[in-house]
Amino acid sequence: MSEQKGKRRGMFGRLFGRETSVEETGPEDAPKTPDEIQSHESAEHTSDVEAGTVTNDLSEGAVTDTHPRSGTEVAVTAVEEFSPDVASEAPTEPEKPTQQSWFQKLRSGLTKTSSRLSDGITGIFTKKKLDATTLEDLEDLLIQADLGVDTAMRITDTLSKGRYEKGIAPEDVRRVLAEEVERVLAPVAQTLELNASARPHVILVVGVNGAGKTTTIGKLAAKFAADGKKVMLAAGDTFRAAAIDQLKIWGERTGSPVIARDVGADSSGLAYDALKAAREGQYDVLIVDTAGRLQNKQALMDELVKVVRVLRKLDPDAPHDVTLVLDATTGQNAMQQVEVFRERAGVTALIMTKLDGTARGGILVSIASKFAIPVYAIGVGEGVEDLQPFDAAQFAKAIASM
């Protein structure tokens, strides 16, 4: 990836707009939650079927559809009843959440993680000196919060310098915590950048079951589409009909064609067809969903390797990003997921979801410290606006209740 950096143009940060309105960029009526997706699903699927415009199968009787932007014929799920120009559907007077409002959301999402740390620090240091016992207690607290042994030791080392046997305020401990966490995270906080010479830029999204892959793809598609990018989606999770349908809904809502086949179809063949169609149609981005797989299931991991191999037949640089979606609530198991997915599928970046539902958000610090893999974004909820680029300083402050 690094040698391509020069050719790439900045994208993800601008897309998500750290300083701009998030709502501005998201489609006005994009489904925000699985429930909304479900209700869209039943209502709209019926009409699609009645209209005879939807097909899941590229090979048999696939309905071809001319994409409004490209004029290229590809077999896709119907998108014409939804305006592909998502940007024009943006609210006329959008709410403008500022950088601060995302920070507030992040803080509140990370409350379980930060209050556990903060309460622990207060308990350890109120009216107590900084000595071997309190430092040991702090180290235990940090390790239990999944920050990792290395980071925990660095924090206690920094704290003890010049302060040993002296009283220390819990705020000072939290400040050192924030500084050290930021130091670990800063190098991995990177933006998803599209390779300007790749058409399409292929993003393969991998992870264990239920990590949030499909939802994350939907959110990414919404952001890319709102930025005027031509996005194609590939429903490579051929194990679950619901995952295929869920992706189709996102495709409809974002004006992005979805290449899909029936449940049980070969996902590498589907990925190949999708890349071929995306190239012919001059798409900017192809996001390929994959079935959730446990990292210890050898056959499934082999299948992922095959998807990568097959994509490379068409473009030796593809996939340009292999993004591992990690569910923060899985805690320490996420470490093993990174290890195995990196080894087998060549993971190049991470997105961590569900930081709003866990007291173990510190795992991101452990992962950054151990693997140094770029983190593109984090999720603190189910809505489009709940996925944002990863900012080390904000995360560190939120986790340390600063």
Ligand X SMILES: Nc1nc2c(ncn2[C@@H]2O[C@H](COP(=O)(O)OP(=O)(O)OP(=O)(O)O)[C@@H](O)[C@H]2O)c(=O)[nH]1
Residues flagged as binding site: 207-214, 289-293, 353-356
Tell me whether residue 67 or residue 261 sits nearer to ligand X (CB atom).
261
Query: Which of 17, 381, 383, 389 is in the footprint of ligand X by CB under 6 A?
Result: 381
Q: Measured from the CB of residue 268, what is the shortest distance to ligand X in angstroms?
A: 17
**Options 380, 384, 396, 400; binder of ligand X; rule CB under 6 A:** 380
What is the rounded distance in angstroms from the CA atom of residue 74 to the CA atom of residue 288?
A: 16
Residues 171-210 that bind ligand X (CB under 6 A): 207, 209-210
State which of positions 61-100 bind ligand X (CB under 6 A). none
Nearer to ligand X, 300 or 314 (CB): 300
What DSSP character marks residue 130? -
Q: What is the DSSP letter of 112?
A: H
Q: In the stretch 287-306, what mask flags binding to ligand X with x, by CB under 6 A?
A: -----x--------------
Answer for which of 214, 337, 366, 388 binds ligand X (CB under 6 A) is 214
DSSP 233-279: EE---TT-HHHHHHHHHHHHHHT--EE---TT--HHHHHHHHHHHHH
Long-range own/partner contacts, residues 342-345 (CB < 8 A, 24 or more apart) = 342/371, 342/373, 344/301, 344/304, 344/305, 345/204, 345/206, 345/301, 345/304, 345/305, 345/308
Stretch of 21-29, 113-121, 305-313, 352-360 contacting ligand X, by CB under 6 A: 352-360
Choice from 4, 28, 34, 306 touching ligand X (CB under 6 A): 34
| CA pair distance 16, 350, nearest whole angstrom | 16
Q: Which of 40, 354, 360, 397 binds ligand X (CB under 6 A)?
A: 354
Binder to ligand X among 94, 269, 331, 357 (CB under 6 A)? Answer: 357
31 scored as a contact of ligand X (CB under 6 A):
no
Tokens of 311: 């994509």
Sign of the alpha-carbon dihedral angle for 127, 131, 133, 138: positive
User: Applying CB under 6 A, which of residues 295, 337, 353, 358 lies at the interface with ligand X?
Assistant: 353
Give the nearer residue to ligand X in terms of CB position, either 195 or 290: 290
Strands 285-288 and 231-234, by their bridges, are parallel
C-alpha R_g of the chain: 22
351 binds ligand X (CB under 6 A): no
- DSSP β-bridge partners for residue 379: 387
Task: Pick one of 240, 312, 342, 370: the residue that binds ligand X (CB under 6 A).
Answer: 240
Q: Which is nearer to ligand X, 13 or 236 (CB)?
A: 236
Residue 123, classed as helix, strand or coil, is helix
- Least separation in angstroms between residue 223's CB and ligand X is 15
φ and ψ of 171, to 5 deg: -60, -40
As annotated, the binding site for GTP includes 207-214, 289-293, 353-356
Q: Which residues pair with 129 in a beta bridge?
A: 167
Show the CA angle centred on residue 9, arms to residues 8 and 12, nearest 5°: 110
* Nearest distance from C-beta of residue 14 to ligand X, angstroms: 22
C-beta of 245: minimal distance to ligand X in Å? Answer: 11
Would you count residue 245 as binding ligand X (CB under 6 A)?
Answer: no
| Least Å from the CB of residue 284 to ligand X | 23
Nearer to ligand X, 207 or 319 (CB): 207
Instruction: Give the residue with the Cβ less far from ligand X, 32 or 279.
Output: 32
Q: How far apart are CA 79 and CA 388, in angstroms?
A: 26
Give CA 71 to chain center in angstroms: 31
Q: Which residues bind ligand X (CB under 6 A)?
A: 34, 207, 209-215, 237, 240, 243, 292, 353-354, 356-357, 379-382, 386
